[in-house]
Amino acid sequence: MALTPCIVPEVGKATFTIGEQEMEFGMGIHGEPGIVRTKLTTANEMVDEMMERIFADYHYAAGDEVSILVNSLGATPLEELYIAYKKISEICTAKSIMIYRPYIGRFATSFEMAGMSITILKLDFELKQMLDFKVDTPFFKQP
């Protein structure tokens, strides 16, 4: 979900335009067109729409374990990502989908683009083991 465009330094201008009271779902990280542009809504309404689209695209059932990634596109602050995650958690709880490991932050950004993405990974035993690996890189650490 995007609220503002990114400005690629070499180009020096916005990669797309979006109204001050608009948001776009399905935006590509480099400004590729999304699937729908709508009127700006609340964070909870945005998350509801995003999760409905995710659940329509892939089957999740009660008892499934998932990992959730809530990603800032660059300009969205961590506090707002946690507001979104709270709603995601409520939706998953209502569907009896268990969140094994949430990741909330800036993982794949597009300069100072305002917006966020939600990724859900359905887990099995092997994927859970992989998510538990210790990671120590310059851009991602996990004890």
The chain-wide mean pLDDT, for the chain, equals: 93
Q: What length does the chain have?
A: 143
| Domain annotation for the chain: domains and CATH numbers | 22-131 (3.30.1180.20)
**CA–CA distance, 23 with 34 (Å, rounded to integer):** 10
pLDDT computed for residue 67 by the predictor = 98
Q: Which of 11, 19, 21, 30 is catalytic?
A: 30
pLDDT tens readout for residues 15-47: 788 999 999 998 887 778 899 999 999 999 999
- Is residue 30 among the annotated active site residues? yes
β-partners of residue 102 are 68
DSSP for residue 115:
B
pLDDT computed for residue 132 by the predictor = 96
